[in-house]
A and B are shown apart, each in its own frame.
Chain A
């Protein structure tokens, strides 16, 4: 499967625990984006990363959220001390080019986080 791979597909956490979501971009893509979809809402941009660099994190909540895309391995979105409002579907996308692209992103199937 050469598509964007996300895991886990479903994650349940209790309030105060940590959530880690992983994303492997499509083969040949070096640009990764995270979007969040809250219930009954559209997807909202969170962060844009290249290998070892955060390019734009303007959509990330100021606290508890962080993202990385190490030289080796998948991109990781980390949410510390989760709260019920973090319950959402988190989508990762990738593209072969960065800011030159036309917004045509390739999305993964998403990771659905439920906070009890």
Chain B
């Protein structure tokens, strides 16, 4: 039972354009969502997060949108840069003492072409 789904295994965009990565979840108990970025042969690194009490969080070129009713979140990268090429994992957790227990999607490989 996959509770966090990233239905696009890969995405290719041109440098300077917007990258939109999507994520859906099924467990309504999730109330905290994170995006991690992973380069080959490295560990995931935290990128941005959002609590379920918000619908948008922005950090520089990165913005995460949360639509609770649709159980959907998205990560927008504007403008995209070649250095953004990596695998992006969506993750979710529940508060109440177990928020270290992240449920990850399978990831989306983003390629930003110069």
User: Which positions in A face B, CB cutoff 8 Å?
Assistant: 4, 31, 33, 35, 40-45, 48, 56, 58-59, 91, 93, 95, 98-99, 101-110
How many inter-chain residue pairs (CB < 8 Å) link A and B? 70
User: Which positions in B face A, CB cutoff 8 Å?
Assistant: 4, 32, 34, 36, 41-46, 49, 89, 91, 93, 97-107
Chain A residues within an 8 Å CB radius of B97? 99
Q: Could you say which of A4, A43, A48 has the most chain B C-beta atoms within 10 Å of its C-beta?
A: A43
A56 to B94, CA, bound (A): 15
A4-B43, A108-B43 known; A42+B101 contact, CB < 8 A: no
Q: CB distance B43 to A109 under 8 Å?
A: yes
Q: What's the least CB distance linking A86 to chain B, in Å?
A: 19
Q: Could you say which of A42, A48, A59, A104 has the most chain B C-beta atoms within 10 Å of its C-beta?
A: A42
Q: CB distance A104 to B34 under 8 Å?
A: yes
Chain B residues within an 8 Å CB radius of A110? 42-43
Chain A residues within an 8 Å CB radius of B34? 103-104
Q: CB distance A102 to B43 under 8 Å?
A: no
Partner of B41, one of A42, A99, A109: A109
Q: CB distance A104 to B44 under 8 Å?
A: no
A42-B4, A43-B89, A99-B98 known; A104+B104 contact, CB < 8 A: no
A43-B44, A91-B43, A107-B43 known; A98+B107 contact, CB < 8 A: no
Q: Could you say which of A45, A56, A59, A91 has the most chain B C-beta atoms within 10 Å of its C-beta?
A: A45
Chain A residues within an 8 Å CB radius of B49? 102-104
A42-B104, A56-B98 known; A103+B4 contact, CB < 8 A: no
A43 to B90, CA, bound (A): 10
The 3 closest A-B pairs by CB, nearest first: A42-B104, A107-B43, A99-B97
Q: What's the least CB distance linking A106 to chain B, in Å?
A: 8
Chain B residues within an 8 Å CB radius of A58? 101
Q: What's the least CB distance linking B23 to chain A, in Å?
A: 11
Q: CB distance B100 to A95 under 8 Å?
A: yes
Q: What's the least CB distance linking A7 to chain B, in Å?
A: 13
Chain B residues within an 8 Å CB radius of A45? 100-103
